[in-house]
Chains A and B, each alone.
Chain A
Amino acid sequence: MSVAHDSPTSDHALLRVCNASKQFAPSLSFGDHIAVWLGQEIDQRIVHAVDGVSLTLHRGEVLGLVGESGCGKSTLGRMMAGIYPASQGNIRLDGVPVMGAGKKPLKTTTRIQMVFQDPFASLDPRVRVGETIGEGPLFHGLVNAADLKAYVTHWLETVGLPAEAADRFPHQFSGGQRQRVAIARALAMQPDVLICDEPVASLDVSIQAQIINLFLKLKHELKLTMLFISHDLGVIRHITDNIAIMYLGRIVERGPTLDVYENPKHPYTRALLDSIPRLVTEGDELVVFKAIDGELPSPLAPPPGCHFHLRCPHAQEICKTRVPDFEDQPSPPVSGHDVACHFPLG
């Protein structure tokens, strides 16, 4: 699609996630610490939120990250934004790790910014919108105090809000307008990468269309590189160049968006696409959708082997023991569409 500096197929990735994992362990209570000290075994329930994920994001690319709730897509997004440190593996922006080292690592760059799902929770209700947008750029020296007003106005207008909006508080805006403010706040930091975590999920359909159009406009005008996290396959299809499908902490399929939609290779992707109710009518009948059996297993105790084997209609013995890998495929993937499955579809 629109390519700013590098072609998406070139080897030069802007953001590279390399074999990254994230586990969350509950912190031990005082009693638990003593029990451990006395040699007791404590049942530490570790959540394997993200499990050995590798991804690359090229300049100008919009990558969609799709999955059901609990699959780890938001955690991965936050790791890429430098909010959560990776437990294993690393995430680099232009070769530089996005987070520093140490026990409590901090984000090292302002070049990655994030837009969150709920604009009612992500904006400080006591701070005027102009200050919300201007605070970061001022602190990081992207603009000096004299030019701040014009700078804020510029970004407000970019997202389709009037200049007067700067003097108002978040509660004076509707949901769609608040999301515009949140986008302006992220853009004002002049990021190279924008990470959007379900940015339209909490909006009404007609407002959702307005925000999707805003993202399309920004994508073309600012040549934004974006990671677009969503469970809504219709939105993802519309806005992204490439997608990665995630299931219980792992990427199971990745490739160019239209290619994956038309020719899904992983049984999970197929099932997910089949389960969306659609409005498209075929002849006289509404297209009937199918449901996947079962539910997402608990990330506290993920099943061995392929995580999807419990729900998969094609599962065989090997699926129960061996984790499928992207490298397992007999032939090299065409056009970057590959799948982690022992028995990929057609």
Chain B
Amino acid sequence: MKKILLEVEGLSTHFMTRNGVLKAVNDVSFTLHEGEIIGLVGESGSGKSVTGFSILGLVDAPGQIVAGSVRLQGRELIGMAEPELRTVRGREISMVFQDPSTTLNPVLSIGTQMRLALAAHETVSRQAADTRCADVLNKVGIPDAARRLDYFPHQFSGGMRQRVAIAIALLNHPKLIICDEPTTALDVSIQAQILLQMKTLAQDFGTAMIWISHDLSTVSSVASQLLVMYAGRIIESGPARDLLRIPNHPYTHGLLGSLPEHARPGQPLEQIPGQMPSLIDLGSECAFLSRCTKSDSLCHTSPTLRSDGSRRVRCHHPIAGDWH
């Protein structure tokens, strides 16, 4: 059994907005082992990105982590002093964001940006830094890396820019990389290249990853474990293969059914009616109640997350399985 790297327990992040308290992340718990890739799936507004940000303490006002704990190899990150947290960010946990054209600084050459990322955590000579930067760039598939250190972000294509962002994330050999929809802005052919590369890199470096995405197909091609989020809560989790073959929550089931590849061409897709409720006035009922076909009177009380060992589901009427 691999060692536990990250434990998230009862994490809740709320946004104090003018209209009320927006419960973006609500009682999220999961564990991540060393070298494991976990997929965090959900639609927009489900709280998947905020979960990622909360782990790194990157939640700004009006957002606030109101409860829970995040432990990296036993060390508590919530409530850690900012200077100490800065030594964790980028070195032990790094992050790759969705849009590479806004995360890279347009007026600094990528070499400068990479050297800054290195210098933030250790003292290295200019020459050693350049070698290391070029080395990592090569690994993420940028040819002629040593020369390209002098290039500026605008001289790269979107796919190449994302590779640079990934290279920066890898630079300090972190134990965990949080990837927030890193391939969403890219074309399918480039997405495929980057997915394959990330998967191999994670294996080579033994890096664990949290892969956040709205795209079940993308996530399932890299992750071994899946967490499905809906309205700020984890509603189902388990090994990717099992979860995709037999989804237990009606929402996951509906989500898989609404993918065109699961239907006969030209036939209406199975659709989930309605839309996600507002996160401001979530009542005590199951958040999926209004869209669910299996709901009954029981569903007016919020279901708890039940486990059968490897899988968890938050539903009063799971589709299959023996739940405790």
Contact = CB atoms under 8 A, between A and B. Distances in A.
Same assembly? yes
Given A205-B258, A279-B262, A233 B275 contact: no
B21 interface: no
A46 interface: no
B189 A272 contact: yes
A223 interface: no
Interface residues of A, number: 44
Given A206-B271, A292-B189, A258 B262 contact: no
Given A212-B260, A212-B269, A238-B263, A277 B214 contact: no
A284 B188 contact: no
Contact of A257 (B190, B258, B265): B265
Interface in B34-67: 43-44
Contacts of A281: 241, 244-245
B217 interface: yes
A321 B59 CA distance: 55
Interface string A251-267: 00000011000000000
Contacts of A237: 260-261, 265
Nearest to B195: A277
Interface in B247-280: 254-263, 265-273, 275
B26 interface: no
Nearest to B291: A206
Interface in A69-91: 69
B12 interface: no
A234 B190 contact: no
A294 B43 CA distance: 31
B interface: dominant SS: helix
A69 B254 CA distance: 30
A287 B173 CA distance: 30
Contact of A277 (B218, B258, B275): B218
Given A206-B258, A237-B265, A238-B265, A277 B192 contact: yes
A207 to B, nearest CB: 7
Contacts of B190: 68, 295
Contacts, number: 123
Contact of A290 (B192, B257, B260, B262): B192
B69 interface: no
A216 interface: yes
Given A205-B216, A206-B271, A272 B188 contact: yes
Nearest to A71: B187
Contacts of A286: 220-221, 240-241
B131 interface: no
B49 to A, nearest CB: 14
Contacts of B191: 275, 277
A217 B268 CA distance: 8
B157 to A, nearest CB: 6
Nearest to B43: A204
Interface in B92-147: none
Interface string A205-216: 111111011001
A174 interface: yes
A258 B216 contact: no
Given A206-B43, A206-B255, A258 B189 contact: no
B43 A238 contact: no
A291 B266 contact: no
Interface in B211-228: 214-218, 220-221
Contacts of B201: none
A38 interface: no
A278 interface: yes
A87 to B, nearest CB: 25
Contacts of A288: 221
A198 to B, nearest CB: 13
A292 B159 CA distance: 13
Contacts of B214: 204-205
Contacts of A258: 265
B188 A231 contact: yes
Interface string B261-303: 1110111111111010000000000000000000000000000
Contacts of B273: 210
A11 to B, nearest CB: 25
Given A204-B214, A277-B221, A286-B241, A209 B258 contact: yes
A80 to B, nearest CB: 22
Contacts of B265: 237-239, 257-258
A245 B298 CA distance: 51
Contacts of B43: 204-207
A292 B193 CA distance: 7
The 6 closest A-B pairs by CB, nearest first: A209-B258, A238-B260, A275-B192, A291-B192, A277-B221, A204-B43
28 contacts: A174-B275, A204-B44, A204-B214, A205-B215, A206-B43, A206-B255, A209-B269, A209-B271, A210-B273, A213-B269, A237-B265, A238-B260, A238-B263, A238-B265, A238-B266, A239-B260, A275-B192, A276-B188, A276-B192, A277-B192, A277-B217, A279-B244, A280-B261, A281-B241, A286-B221, A286-B241, A295-B157, A295-B159
